[in-house]
Amino acid sequence: MNEANKKPPAAGGSGRSALLAAAILFLVFVANIVIGKIAIVGGATTAPGLGDVGEFLVLFAAVVLFIAACLARERAQNRDNSE
């Protein structure tokens, strides 16, 4: 297939939006951990932040979105190879 016949990638295609959302959620998770560590080192008796369940849900959502982005990218690559 020559370059003139190649289709441009669809907007948001190949999982870019899911990957961006996963990265943002992972940064939220890391920021929560860092804020909690700073608070405990500073002498706080209770750590501020999302709590155990909140941390789990944020990390779980980041992992699910990351897997979705990987699968979307693989699907787009397979579709391009089959054409």
Residues 6+ positions from 56 with CB-CB distance below 8 Å: none
Domains of the chain: which residue ranges?
15-82
Measure the N-to-C terminal CA separation of the chain; round to a whole number of Å.
8
Distance CA 29, CA 58 (A): 6
pLDDT tens for 32-64 read 999 999 998 988 888 788 889 999 999 999 999
pLDDT score of 27 more than 90: yes
What is the pLDDT at residue 62?
97
